[in-house]
Amino acid sequence: MQSTKEINAKERIIAWPRMGRIDIPLKALLVSLGAKVIIPPPNSNEALEIGVKNSIEGICLPYKLNLANYIMALNQGANTLMMFQAPGSCRLGNYTKMAQKTLKDMGYDFDMVIFDMYKSKMKQTLHAFWYVTHCLNPFKYYKGFSLGFNKFFAIDTAEKMLLKIRPREIHKGEAEALYNKWLQIIDDTNSVWAAKKLKKQVIEDFNKIEIDKEKFVPKIFLIGEFFVLLDPYTNKEIEKTLGEMGVEVQRQIMFGDWLEHVLKPSLFYKKESHRERSVRYAKDYMKRAIGGECIETIGDTVYAAKNGIDGVIHISPFSCIPEIVSQNILNKVKRNEDIPVMSLIFDEQTGRAGYITRLEAFVDLVKRKKYKKQ
Ligand code: SF4
């Protein structure tokens, strides 16, 4: 863990960049340890404008939005910024240092606490949380981590149920409304006992929605770069758009699932992780991970082809190096494995109309291929 400035734990007001719904579980964890937090507003055109204005042009979109999140949080009174960094050839490893320098040059005074996600995992994490809160009470850590993890799993479950039910629901918008209701309940839950029951309750509630069981619904894997997969603003609500076109989306990166693998000591992590599955399935095309989600993209596509999935949509931000590599390999994968694959690249210029037309054409192709097979 690295830090840039000593601040008394009681005076810390902590913020972190927006990524999926990490705000809900991380807030629960930090507040349980006695911290004050500020959550920057969801990504938007305003955030993008701030990020673009203060970044170098060629840097990838996640950096620009992360930087905007920091600026907005600092303007609201945050004085401690948390971020993680990862190794590999992806630029994420340099993000925090670049953002830190940019913010200092802009005149902000803050501490930046950086987790190295792949170095001694849980020990690093505990140390970082102790550092920002100075909490020594093991019961508070138990409560914070139990709340955090159970909320992560409940959000993952609600997202999966939404993706499954939305293309089949009889009354349009019902699944989305239920999802939003559960996000609020998950956010409001403050006891470990109640948090442990959330996942089951979410499934039961979604299963009450009336659906058309006979409807012809193709299944499409949504794969690619971590941030763009999890951020609906950046990916232009691709999951919702596809769901409304009658497609069941299966997103291959879920935050809780990923975090469990990254943080849990391997002794207690018994199932095959997404990374391990990807390495196994990608072996004919790629021998090792090269950073970002490159190997996951290849492995997920092969896995989809071998497991009856009807198509794959690969999404990435403009100028993302690992995904440029995987996009080139995907041409060979889709030919060899005989599965429709479409790559979409998002940047601040991406317009909605052109992107919807491409999605419609791809969904049409996938549906026709599925009809033929049947
Ligand atoms: S994976 Fe790609 S978009 Fe994401 S941080 Fe790395 S280079 Fe940027």
Distances in Å between the alpha carbon of 97 and those of 14, 89, 318? 18, 16, 21
- CA 286, distance to chain mean position in Å, is 24
Give nearest CA residue, ligand 1 atom 3: 320
Query: Token pair of 28, please?
Result: 């629960």
- CB–CB of 230/20 below 8 Å? yes
> Ligand 1: which atom is nearest the Cα of residue 317?
3
Please tell me the distance between residue 370's alpha carbon and the centre of ligand 1 in angstroms.
Answer: 33
Indicate if ligand 1 lies below 6 Å from the C-beta of 321: yes
Indicate if ligand 1 lies below 6 Å from the C-beta of 91: yes
Please tell me the distance between residue 330's alpha carbon and the centre of ligand 1 in angstroms.
Answer: 18
Indicate if ligand 1 lies below 6 Å from the C-beta of 60: yes
CB atoms within 10 A of CB 150: 23
Please tell me the distance between residue 318's alpha carbon and the centre of ligand 1 in angstroms.
Answer: 9
Distances in Å between the alpha carbon of 197 and those of 26, 33, 39? 19, 22, 26
Cα–Cα distance, 206 to 141 (Å, whole number): 31
pLDDT-derived band at 226, boundaries 50, 70, 90: very high
Model confidence over 279-330: pLDDT tens digits? 999 999 998 888 889 999 999 999 999 999 999 999 999 888 899 999 999 9
- CB–CB of 325/282 below 8 Å? no
In the chain, the domains with their CATH numbers are: 9-136 (3.40.50), 155-211 (no CATH), 216-373 (3.40.50)
Instruction: Tell me phi and psi for residue 337, to 5 degrees.
Output: -95, -5
Cα–Cα distance, 135 to 40 (Å, whole number): 24
Which of 56, 59, 60 has most ligand 1 atoms within 8 Å of its beta carbon, as the pocket-test mutant? 60
Please tell me the distance between residue 238's alpha carbon and the centre of ligand 1 in angstroms.
Answer: 19
Indicate if ligand 1 lies below 6 Å from the C-beta of 19: no
Give the per-residue SS3 of 179-220.
HHHHHHHHHHCCCHHHHHHHHHHHHHHHCCCCECCCCCCCEE
Question: Averaged over 255-268, what is the pLDDT?
Answer: 79
Type and span of the H or E element at 308? none
Please tell me the distance between residue 92's alpha carbon and the centre of ligand 1 in angstroms.
Answer: 6
Cα–Cα distance, 222 to 366 (Å, whole number): 14
Structure pTM? 0.92
Query: Token pair of 47, please?
Result: 């955030």
DSSP per-residue letters across 58-107? TS-HHHHHHHHHHHHHHHTT--EEEEEE--SSSTHHHHHHHHHHHHHHTT
Amino acid in position 307:
N
Half-sphere exposure of residue 373: CA atoms within 13 angstroms, side-chain side = 13
Please tell me the distance between residue 91's alpha carbon and the centre of ligand 1 in angstroms.
Answer: 6
**Exposure b/e, 111-148, CB count within 10 A at least 16 = b:** bbbbbbbeeebeebbeebbeebbebeeeebbebbbbbb
What is the DSSP-derived secondary structure letter of residue 42? P
pLDDT attached to residue 88: 59
- 97 CB burial (10 A radius; 0-12, 13-18, 19+): middle
Model confidence over 80-117: pLDDT tens digits? 999 877 655 677 777 888 899 999 999 999 999 887 76
Model confidence over 119-163: pLDDT tens digits? 656 777 888 889 899 999 999 999 999 999 999 999 999 999 999
Give nearest CA residue, ligand 1 atom 6: 90
Please tell me the distance between residue 225's alpha carbon and the centre of ligand 1 in angstroms.
Answer: 7
How confident is the prediction for the chain on average, in pLDDT?
91
- CB–CB of 222/297 below 8 Å? no
Cα–Cα distance, 179 to 161 (Å, whole number): 9
Task: Please give the sequence-ordered ranges of beta strands (E in DSSP) within the chain, or none if there are none.
Answer: 13-15, 36-37, 80-85, 111-116, 219-224, 248-251, 311-317, 341-346
Indicate if ligand 1 lies below 6 Å from the C-beta of 62: yes
